[in-house]
Amino acid sequence: MGAGMIRTLGQAARAIGGTLIGPDAPLEGPIVTDSRQAAPGSLFVAVAGERTDGHAHLASAAARGAVGALVSDLDAARQGLGGQEAGPRGGSEPPLGLILVSDTVEALGALARTHLAHLRAAARDRGSDLSVVAMTGSVGKTTTKDLTRQLLAAAGPTVAPRASFNNEIGLPLTVLEADESTRYLVLEMGASGPGHIAYLTGIAPLDAAAVLMIGHAHMGGFGSIEGVARAKAEILDGLGPHGTALLNADDPRTAALADRAPGAVLTFSRLGPADIRAQGVELGQGARASFDLTLPGLEGTRRVTLAVAGEHNVSNALAAAGLALAAGVPAGLIADELGQVGIESPHRMDIQALGGDLLLIDDSYNANIDSMTAALAALPDLAAHRRRVVIVSEMLELGDSSQADHRRTGELAHQAGAALLIGIGGGTEPALQAAGALGTPTLGFPDAATAIDQIGTLLQDGDAVLVKGSNGSGAWRLADHLKEARPR
């Protein structure tokens, strides 16, 4: 590591203004918030969450080799260590070094901020670069993150979030995975209220930032679509003076943010004029889109066929190409790789052939009306001649638009040719009513467990089954059950 890098508990404590209690030790393992992921040399961050308090798991982290922990409550830490003394009042020394702070989540962010600043300084000293890119939007963040990671990895060592690590805990954990070999750092930035993205860019100032779409996600936390727009625009404020903003020209609210960008702006579109374009879009086998790619720096156009399904993923692919271009990847390499990259995170348009010739379309990680619309639009091409079964769980955090958005879901399921619409949770009742009124058979279950118990009697061999819903409402549990119950 270069000069100024954080290599010990003592250095970490000083960097974040904490107090080290107990032994100092080298930090040689991962920084984790889950004690089960601790390893020799780890720093465990004790987060007090809704379900459990990390302080209660200090002994578990220590048993797995953690050498230190970020804590905010000494009494809780002492109890978590099985009653061993964890303070300066005498008694035995704790089995791992404790860094006492007022707020462990804020301390985690401060540690990541310092770490990234040191990495950038070390890169400059070597005459190298560390490019940090990020994306936000109501739809497509994680897919775009996966595609961007692969494009950048083709050009150099790249670090990106696992799954959907896009909040005040997941983002700093991702930053802390980078080291001096990292050439590109990809970050996903989510928000469920104003100020959330500004906090994240305060940890990781950006070289390139993409706004994918301003839609109806987490409406309950923003109050209005205008509130969503203001919150997503915070990512542009996190750009450095030479940073590049990448904006979706097909979404008027996103395109209107161009004046907010501090520097260069790139636009992308699958519908009209833009810097990065997809023209002549055609859907082929498996609903995979082919198009003529226009990309600055590329001679002429290049015909690309995506590996990911769904026409909506054309926009995500263009955004990934733009972020890679802004990070310095040659246009020719981007064009060569764009048709090879795929979705890496679970429950995102994961299409699998299961036993009994069942085609499962698992898009169950999260949902709002925009992503629901995209998934149902892709269903006819994916299902082809198969009987279509749509399983939806409740879309959460929609605020006042919840009933209308669920009604629209029922209408869209009917338009997609669903032979059966299954709803999980009481919030899906408007969807079932709307689809039923149009003639689509429907069935509702109070929860995922009940649906899992009965789903085997409702599906037929050869069906195409789309599973979609918010993470917290459990559709993913049914998708996982089908994968286990019908192994290929």
143 is in an annotated binding site: yes
Same domain, 94 and 111: no
Asked if the structure places residue 1 within a domain, the reply is no
Please say which residue of 102, 122, 153 terminates a domain.
102
pLDDT for residue 222: 66
Same domain, 76 and 119: no
Same domain, 229 and 140: yes
Same domain, 364 and 243: no
Total residue count of the chain as it appears in this document = 488
Same domain, 384 and 433: yes
483 is in an annotated binding site: no
Euclidean distance between CA atoms 196 and 210, whole angstroms: 16
Same domain, 150 and 23: no
* pLDDT tens per residue, range 243-263: 999 999 999 999 999 999 999
Q: Domain holding 274: CATH number?
A: 3.40.1190.10
Q: Please state the three-class secondary structure of the chain as a single string.
A: CCCCCCCEHHHHHHHHCCEEECCCCECCCCEECCHHHCCCCCEEECCECCCCEHHHHHHHHHHCCCCEEEECCHHHHHHHCCCCCCCCCCCCCCCCEEEECCCHHHHHHHHHHHHHHHHHHHHHHCCCCCEEEEEECCCCHHHHHHHHHHHHHCCCCEECCCCCCCCCCHHHHHHCCCCCCCCEEEEECCCCCCCHHHHHHHHCCEEEEEECCCCCCCHHHHCCHHHHHHHHHHHHHCEEEEEEEEEECCCHHHHHHHHHCCCEEEEEECCCCCCEEEEEEEECHHHEEEEEEECCCCCCCEEEEEEEECCCHHHHHHHHHHHHHHCCCCHHHHHHHHCCCCCCCCCCCEEEEEHHHEEEEEECCCCCHHHHHHHHHHHHHHHCCCCEEEEEECCCCCHHHHHHHHHHHHHHHHHCCCCEEEEECHHHHHHHHHHHHCCCCEEEECCHHHHHHHHHHCCCCCCEEEEECCHHHCHHHHHHHHHHHCCC
Euclidean distance between CA atoms 134 and 81, whole angstroms: 38
pLDDT for residue 399: 79
pLDDT for residue 176: 96
138 is in an annotated binding site: yes
139 is in an annotated binding site: yes
148 is in an annotated binding site: no
Residue 17 pairs with which residues in a beta bridge? none
The terminus-to-terminus CA distance of the chain in angstroms comes to 47
- Full domain range(s) for residue 237: 106-338
Asked if the structure places residue 471 within a domain, the reply is yes
Residue spans of the chain under pLDDT 70 = 1-4, 83-93, 216-223
Please say which residue of 56, 77, 102 terminates a domain.
102
137 is in an annotated binding site: yes
- Between strands 264-269 and 239-248, the pairing is parallel
Asked if the structure places residue 388 within a domain, the reply is yes
- Integer angstrom CA distances of residue 311 from 248, 271, 373, 470: 15, 12, 12, 21
Same domain, 368 and 231: no
159 is in an annotated binding site: no
Same domain, 326 and 356: no
Q: Domain holding 471: CATH number?
A: 3.90.190.20
Task: Say which amino acid occupies 256.
Answer: A
Of 478, 460, 485, 310, give the one whose Cα is nearest residue 393: 478
- What is the tally of structural domains in the chain? 3
pLDDT for residue 389: 98
pLDDT for residue 89: 42
* pLDDT tens per residue, range 9-60: 999 999 999 999 999 999 999 999 999 999 999 999 999 887 889 999 999 9
pLDDT for residue 86: 47
Euclidean distance between CA atoms 410 and 418, whole angstroms: 10
pLDDT for residue 95: 83
